[in-house]
Amino acid sequence: MKPLQIELTKKAHACIRLEKDGQTLVIDPGGFSEQDAAAGADAILVTHEHPDHFNEDRLRLAMDANPAAEIWTLRSVADQVSAAFPGRIHTVGHGDTFAAAGFDVQVHGELHAVIHPELPRITNVGFLVDGSVFHPGDALTVPDHPVETLLLPVMAPWSKVSEVIEYVREIKPRRAIDIHDALLTDLARPIYDTHIGNLGGAEHSRLTSGDVAEL
C-alpha cells in the first residue's frame, strides 16, 4: 500500500505543520511564529525551551481549542507546562518512539548546539516523523536513519553557513527545506540559497510562511 502523502505548511521561523489523513502535527510553535501557529493541532512537538521554539500562549490556544490535543517534548519544557495541561504532556528523550496524530515519531539528540563555550548547553531533541521528515531543533543532529526531507536550521547565532552546508552533506537528504530563518534578512537570502543549493548536494528550497509543500 502506498504511504499517505504528507502536506507540509511552513510557519514563521522554526514552526512547521504536517498534515496527513485529516490530522495535524505541529512542531515548535514558538514566540517568533504566528499567534495561531499551533491552532487546529491534534499533537504538538517541542524540541527545547528557548522562546523562539516554545511559547506557552501558542500552546494554550491549541490545547484549549482541542481538548484531545497532546504535547510531546523533553523534560525542561514538560516541567513548565505539565501543571497547565495535566495528563496531556508526554516527556520524551533520545531513542524514544511514539505515535502522535497518526504519525510515527522517533526522537534523536540530547543537547543544543554550542552558542559559546562560556554558556551552558541546554537540552534539545530532534523529531524524525514517519521515518522521513527530520526537525533537529537547535542542533545539527544526525539521526541513525535515512532522511528524505531535512528541515534545515539555515541561520542561527550558533551556526555559520559552512556548517549548514556540511550538515546537509552529512545527512544526505533528498531535499532540504529552510527553517530557523526569522533572523535572515531578504538581502542575505540569495547568498544562502546559492551556497546551500550549489554545495549541499540536495534539492534546496525555502518557503515563506503559509507556503505548502507535498512530501
Whether 208 is covered by a domain: the verdict is yes
pLDDT of residue 4: 76
In a domain, 1, yes or no: no
pLDDT at 98 over 80: yes
- 83 CB contacts (<8 Å, ≥6 apart)? none
Q: Convert the pLDDT of each residue in 162-215 to its tens digit.
A: 999 999 999 999 999 999 999 999 999 999 999 999 999 999 999 999 999 999
Q: Which domain holds residue 136?
A: 7-214
Cell 505515535 belongs to 99
Q: Are strands 43-46 and 70-73 parallel, antiparallel or unpaired?
A: parallel
The CATH number of residue 77's host domain is 3.60.15.10
25: helix, strand or coil: strand
The per-residue pLDDT for 2 is 54
Give domain status of residue 148, yes or no. Answer: yes
Identify the pLDDT of residue 117. Answer: 96
- For residues 52 and 137, the answer to whether their CB atoms sit within 8 Å is no
- Count up the domains in the chain and report the number: 1
Q: Is residue 101 part of a domain?
A: yes
By C-alpha distance, which of 103, 127, 105 is closest to 18?
103
45 is a domain residue? yes
Q: How buried is residue 197: exposed, middle or buried, by Cβ count under 10 Å (0-12/13-18/19+)?
A: middle
Report if residue 2 sits inside a domain. no
